[in-house]
Structure 1
Amino acid sequence: MNKTFLPKPLKGIITPMVTPLLDNNTLDIVGLERLINHVISGGVHGLFILGTTGESTSLPYALRDELVRRTCAMVDRKIPVLVGITDTAPSESLRLAEIAANEGADAVVAAPPYYFSMGQPELIEYYEYLADSINLPLYLYNMPSHTKIVIEPNTVHSLSKHRNIIGLKDSSANNVYLNSVINMMKDRPDFSLLVGPEELMAETVLLGGHGGVNGGANMFPSLYVQLYEAAFTGDLEKVKLLHSKVMTISSKLYKVGNFGSSYLKGLKAALSVLGICSDFIASPLSSFKIEEKEKIKKAIDDIQQIL
């Protein structure tokens, strides 16, 4: 296994980085460097590329490979880099994991394959196959809204026994599920439990989770780091204050328009307004039009007043 500098468990705010694009086949390289420098300067504890927020399944394989190479070079081991390798073809997941290892990434992240529905025994077999075949630590990624499959708590616990499976990112937005996992994993304090929805991050940390993989940390990384630290130290008054700001971001930026992709459209539009990177979104999705962009611009003005 390649040498990494991942703490066990990995704690804090891991930014699920958007993929800055100029068009469907071209990275916004200037925007990528600006975004990476922005989140690192905000104090985040890691970077996760090629996840849902990174539009991984919409990107050509050549572009995914380029993003891994450029990101690892730009980060230059300042913080851990996690690479999403989710795919319907295990061979493609393994190919990208090899690139990630060769380029200096610290871990990979995989959601279940999202076409055929899999039973829990099949899921265990699949993840053990991945973990046995790659040269980097592996995080499980529970994303049932996109994959149709829940990685059940018992399955998480079973897979945690594999030496190369070291954590879970849960994006189910299901508190009952996540609290069940946290309770079940008390015998594995080194197994990282991270939550995707930022609206649940502080609560998750207060209840024993290890941090968040929160999209808003692309825009305002220091706010999410401060909220994590307040939750980690049990400063409830500060948690209430900072959590309110995170909820304002969520309500003003992620719910513009009647789109299933409003979160991603809002996030990328906001990054464009902030002058960080292009707001181009890979097909089959598309960026906000002028009317929605104006709403995002107004929302950013309002949010900056309270930060």
Structure 2
Amino acid sequence: MTQRTFIRPLQGIIPPMITPLLGENELDIPGIENMVSHLLRGGVHGIFVLGTTGECTNISYGLRRDLIRKTCEMVQGRVPVLVGITDTSVEESISLAQAAQAAGADAVVAAPPYYFGLGQPELEVYFRRLADALPLPLFLYNMPSHTKTMISQEVVMKLSEHDNIYGLKDSSANAVYFNSMVYALRNRSDFSLLVGPEEMMAASVLMGGHGGVSGGANMFPGLYVDLYQAAKDRDMEKVLELQEMAMEISANIYNLGTYGSSYLKGLKAAVSSLGLCDGYVASPMESFPDDQKRMIAQKVRSLKAFKFYGAGAKNINPEYFK
């Protein structure tokens, strides 16, 4: 398959799409179709599958490949598709990247291997070797809360010179780190700096970042696209109005219970309540019980974002209100 190219730096809202599942080893195919259509209707600038929000480490390699194929088939080149290839095995990462290339994806994303804590020199060598071997462009993924390893600014700067490394997705939630990267790379118009936590997305764009990998865009893609554009246009009145909606989502949907996975449980329950897909969460995590799903569904209905951006989804699932 002929590989497409995309304009650098990649910028805008690139949602980390949830992985719609019906069971431990069964994709929700209508759910994938609904999700892709929903995101594209919302005006997103790309789609990222098999990220943390996509439960990348919890589903089988077979399902990962099926998800990549189905997503690329649905997107049909309308926006870039990025594929997470994070693994503890270099060969498995390369194999998944090859599957992504065959399916028509545009780039891959990799965090540091997540078992042994690597030193910074080892990280640099690892990512260089990976980038050399990959058939697609690589975006670095800084996710220290899950990998135990922070990719230092020095290492990012060195790796940014590699011809096959196109950008950094930073999910450290460290604003000083991100703004330091923006400053250090201020003269590199081809290298993307994308932020993970959606609560920081607008601020990061105002400081010179290129956009966000915003999980809430699974629910209301138009909100985050509009917030990104308002920040890019320096329309502060609009930024403040939309940022309040984004923070309301964060406060009400991602913090139910004391689970380390509350964000994912809440997001999947919310997307399911919008009628977009089944809300099954892969083990070792579990979906919320029915009473908490109903609570999330009620919270979704009360959101300002639902009032202004909910029309892009299907009707709320009535089963949650029985």
TM-score bracket for this pair, using the shorter chain length: over 0.9
1:92 aligns with 2:92: yes
C-alpha displacement of 1:187: 2.4
Instruction: Find the counterpart in structure 2 of residue 290 from structure 1.
Output: 290
Structure 1: runs of 5+ lacking an equivalent: none
Q: How does 1:260-299 map to 2 (within 5 A)?
A: 260-299=260-299
Q: Structure 1 residues 157-166 or 177-186, which shifts more?
A: 177-186
Question: Offset of 1:305 from its aligned partner?
Answer: 3.5
Q: Map residues 77-226 of structure 1 onto 2, 5 A cutoff.
A: 77-226=77-226
RMSD: 1.1
Measure the CA separation in 2 of the matches of 1:276 and 1:215. Answer: 15
Deviates more, 1:196-205 or 1:293-302: 293-302
Give the match for residue 25 of structure 2: 25
Give how far 1:273 is off. 0.5
- Superposition deviation, residue 102 in structure 1: 1.0
Give 1:15 deviation, angstroms.
0.8
Aligned twin of 2:314: none
State the distance in 2 between where 1:223 and 1:97 align: 31
Distance 2:240 2:284 in 1: 38
> Is the Cα–Cα contact under 8 Å of residues 2 and 136 in structure 1 kept in the other structure?
no
Partner of 2:312: none
- Residue by residue, what CA displacement relative to the aligned partner does 1:80-127 show, whole Å, maximum 9, x if unpaired? 000000000000000000011111100000000001111111101100
Query: SS of 2:108's equivalent?
Result: strand
Q: Using the TM superposition, give the Cα deviation of residue 2 of structure 1 relative to its aligned residue in structure 2, in angstroms.
A: 6.0
Contact 2:22–2:278 (CA under 8 A) maintained in structure 1: yes
Q: How many residues align?
A: 307
- Displacement of 1:280 in angstroms is 0.2
Alpha-carbon distance between aligned partners in 1 of 2:139 and 2:307, rounded to the nearest angstrom: 37
Q: Is the 8 A contact 1:111 1:141 kept in 2?
A: yes
Separation in structure 1 between the aligned mates of residue 24 and residue 107 of structure 2, nearest angstrom: 26
- Unaligned runs of 5+ residues in structure 2 are 310-322
Q: Which residue of 2 aligns with 1:239?
A: 239
The sequence identity of aligned pairs, in percent, is: 57
Q: Secondary structure at the match of 1:57?
A: coil
SS of 2:185's partner is helix
Counterpart Cα distance in 2 of 1:251 and 1:110: 29
SS in 2 for 1:156: helix
Partner SS for 1:194? strand
TM-score by length of 2: 0.94
Whether the 8 Å contact between 2:59 and 2:282 is mirrored in structure 1 is: yes
Deviations 1:149-192 (A, max 9, x none): 00111111100000000100000111111111111111212100
| Length-normalised TM-score, structure 1 | 0.98
Instruction: Tell me if structure 2 keeps the 8 A contact 1:194–1:210.
Output: yes
